[in-house]
Amino acid sequence: MLNKLPPVVVHLLAALGCLVLLVLLTFAADPFTNLRIATVGYYLIAVAGLALLTGFNGQVSLGHGAFMFIGAYTVALLVKRVPAFPIWADLLLATVAGGVAGLLAGAAAARLRGPYLAGATLALAVGLPAVTQRFPELLAGSNGLSFTVNSQPAGLVGTIPSTQWQAWIVWLAVLLALVVLANLARGKLGRTLRAVRDDEVAASLAGVHVGRTKILAFLVSSACGGLAGGLQAFLLGTAAPGSFTVALSLSLLAALVLGGLGSLWGALWGAIALVYFQVWTDDIAEVLSLRSDISDNLPLALYGVVLIVVVLAFPAGIQGGLRKLWVRVRRPVPSQRGEAS
């Protein structure tokens, strides 16, 4: 029956179902876990955006943290300078700011491929946070901006913890953005993106405007990055250049590769892994009472190892593994032609 409905309705229903489940989940979780649930949310939308760009369109971005940086500072500046704006307007503007930055980056990057593009986006990730040093009055240098967001409606203050409310807001925004992404990925744009990824020349012969498609992919992807950064700022109440290192950009890519490049589901597994790697390594470090030199670097080392192992041994990532499993469960007797890929 679900197959008969248009995809947008299916996606909206799925998002609504997820939201209900998550709200229920936040009632069962303690405030600390709610913070983690919200963190998974904003990483999810950042990685999902990257999935559209790198997985669907084949453009490598080593600098997606830069778009999160833009989103975070947009929210921080709006909260501080224009307190009259409601938080949803701030988040919307953060998304727009990320998108505009992505439009510029995409226009510059449309002619670059492979290692050239990777290098240019890496330069963006290294270079952009330094802008805060350039405008110390506006962007508060390396200390960053801190602020408080009073978004919780008066009726709910005191009845539910603030982290629970924040988790709701984050996931509402993330699920809405995911519905948009899922529709784009399933529709004409998704096919065009993949056509350009697989063969630019063939795609352009088939009437696809290659440059425009690549720029559009960048725009959508970095709008997601902007939203993710805005949500992070909303959640933490700060925006500081130290949070937007090259390591952040690379962790996003690590999450994407681990989850599986070709699907938005992969982004979810990647985002969960990103948050819980940190939690687990902290736990391990505490149990083994490791020196801080070792424990501080453990998550990064783990991301790196994961990137290498996945690329060498499981190029399809977690989602690829799950899909294989699913095919096997549905068809216990292997068909003559072997596994469907």
Partner 1 sequence: MTTFFNLTLAGLSSGAVFAALGLSLVIIYRATRVVNFAQPALALISSYVAYSVTKGTGSYWLGFAAAIVVGTVLGIAVERLLVRPLRNAPELSPIIATMGLLLVLQAVAGMIWSNEPHAFSYAFDFRGRFSAADLFAVLAVLVTATGVLLLFKFTSLGLRMRAAAFNPEVARLLGVRVGVMLTLGWGLAAAVGSLAGLLAVPPFISPTVLDEVFVFALTAAVLGGLDNPLGTIVGGLALGIGLSYVAGLLGPELVPLAALAILVSVLAVRPAGLFGRATARRV
Question: By the criterion CB under 8 A, which residues form the site for partner 1?
Answer: 54, 58, 60, 62, 108-109, 111-112, 114-116, 118-120, 122-124, 126-128, 130-131, 133-134, 199-202, 205, 245-247, 250, 253-254, 257, 261, 293-294, 296-298, 300-301, 303-308, 311-312, 315
What is the nearest approach in angstroms of partner 1 to the Cβ of residue 300? 4
Nearer to partner 1, 169 or 298 (CB): 298
What is the nearest approach in angstroms of partner 1 to the Cβ of residue 113? 8
Q: Is 173 helix (H, G, I), strand (E, B) or coil?
A: helix
State how far the Cα of 111 lies from the Cα of 116, in Å rounded to an integer: 9
Closest to 95 (Cα-Cα) out of 27, 176, 37, 153? 176
What is the nearest approach in angstroms of partner 1 to the Cβ of residue 24? 36
Nearer to partner 1, 55 or 71 (CB): 55
What is the nearest approach in angstroms of partner 1 to the Cβ of residue 60? 6
Cβ count within 10 A of residue 197: 19
What is the nearest approach in angstroms of partner 1 to the Cβ of residue 173? 29
Report the half-sphere exposure of 333 (CA within 13 A, side-chain side). 2
For residue 71, report the phi and psi dihedrals to the nearest 5 degrees: -60, -45
State how far the Cα of 304 lies from the Cα of 319, in Å rounded to an integer: 19
Nearer to partner 1, 87 or 195 (CB): 195
Nearer to partner 1, 4 or 134 (CB): 134
Nearer to partner 1, 137 or 329 (CB): 137
3-state helix/strand/coil string of 66-107: HHHHHHHHHHHHHHHHCCCCCHHHHHHHHHHHHHHHHHHHHH
